[in-house]
Structure 1
């Protein structure tokens, strides 16, 4: 059943974002991450009081990875336009619903803890950094991009994942 759901998610990602040309292509790692971020936005519920006209996905760093920008620019979720922003320091923190921390910035995660406290922010990292505080962490398993989800941490920030998303996750 889980394999069928994963296959369905892969098909949905391809349908949602399409292929760049008529030839089948292997999506880049960043594009797959973007597709997952988009689906996290769709299948996780935020409290209504923190939602606005835009759904902000922030990247901790100076630049938004090209694959993420390419896939998410112009997209919307639940009627909200997705806006991509960068956060290059704690002093320049912006309100967001999802904060993505690339591998090269994970060492800076502890400095964000005071800013993240009492906010409804989904913290997503690369390379299995759940133990450092991420709620969702991308991992490579059997040469496929998958994700771990820390259910308790998700509920502690006031967010709820759909049953379908929970079935796709490696739960902790």
Structure 2
């Protein structure tokens, strides 16, 4: 009986399958990725639908979790975060959720991915300088009990690819 209740709870908590996106939805996504501040009016004009239709579609994309939020693309160097690095981590088997929660708390953590291959986790960080990066790796990361090893790849130059509108 308890396992049936747990299965029912898991099904209730599972997100609904995503609705298919048509060409207009895809165009709206491209426009908003290129300019998250685009007005509903300009989006509607560019995809050739009414403002009400564009508004409803954007709201549906947000409600369905396709659009997770709106934000600014930051030049990290100009923002005082001039050192970037990818850090690979090998972690204790089955500790991903625990490690992920700890990595989210790290200052400058920008991207976390569970991956397959020679390591388990890929972490992108932005720090003010090499000293702060060293502190983050040697003091914070290596203090996480589930982290078995790390390897730091210093980024010499980076460029975010801009979505095509």
Q: After TM superposition, is the score higher than 0.5?
A: no
TM-score, normalised on structure 2? 0.24
> Relative contact order, CA 8 A, sep 6+: which one is greater?
2
| Rg (Cα) greater in structure | 2
Higher strand share: 1
TM-score, normalised on structure 1? 0.23
